[in-house]
């Protein structure tokens, strides 16, 4: 039989062993695993973010296109290149039939904080975002996004 005094000595010592915590090597192994996971998953998540910005630009361009159609129904023509997309927010000069504003909150910038470009050449309108780099052309996230193919 073990005396009560022996139990007291053995009891707390075994309790200390079980509540010690993690060793440095265990923590380093966990950090290495987390770093590997972040290295594998991180680029995929960032790639999806870039795709989301391009999709957002396409949706905004479609909304601008619809607002321009409403402008044309009221005024009888699209805004000129000089009037630009601002004609959807403020009545241009001596336009008759303007029933705007056609956009709430003003003309948006593209997801990369560049202004959308607008051109009206003979009734064919073009709305353009130059992508992440803000320069014509490009591939991937730098590619131009427009309302016409």
Q: Report how far residue 69's alpha carbon sits from residue 102's, in angstroms, rounded to the nearest whole number.
A: 10
CA-closest candidate to residue 100, choices 92, 108, 110: 92
pLDDT digits (tens, 9 = 90+) for 51-83: 788 888 889 999 999 999 999 999 999 998 898
Topology given in CATH for the domain delimited by 40-146? Glycoprotein, Type 4 Pilin (3.30.700)
- What local confidence, expressed as pLDDT, does residue 68 receive? 92
| CB neighbours of residue 130 within 10 Å | 22
Using the CB atoms, write b or e for 9-27: b if 16+ within 10 Å. Answer: eeeeeeeeeeeeeeeeeee
Residue ranges of the domains in the chain? Answer: 40-146
């Amino acid at each position: 039989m073990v005396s009560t005094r022996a139990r007291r000595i053995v009891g707390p010592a075994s309790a200390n062993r079980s509540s010690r915590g993690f060793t440095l090597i265990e923590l380093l192994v966990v950090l290495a695993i987390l770093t590997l996971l972040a290295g594998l998953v991180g680029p995929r998540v960032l790639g999806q973010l870039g795709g989301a910005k391009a999709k957002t630009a396409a949706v905004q361009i479609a909304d601008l296109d619809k607002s321009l159609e409403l402008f044309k129904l009221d005024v009888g023509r699209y805004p000129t290149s000089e009037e630009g997309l601002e004609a959807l927010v403020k009545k241009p000069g001596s336009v008759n039939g303007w029933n705007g504003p056609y956009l709430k909150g003003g003309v948006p910038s593209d997801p990369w904080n560049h202004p959308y470009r607008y051109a009206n050449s003979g009734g064919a309108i073009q709305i353009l975002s130059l992508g992440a780099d803000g320069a014509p052309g490009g591939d991937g996230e730098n590619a131009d996004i427009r309302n016409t193919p």
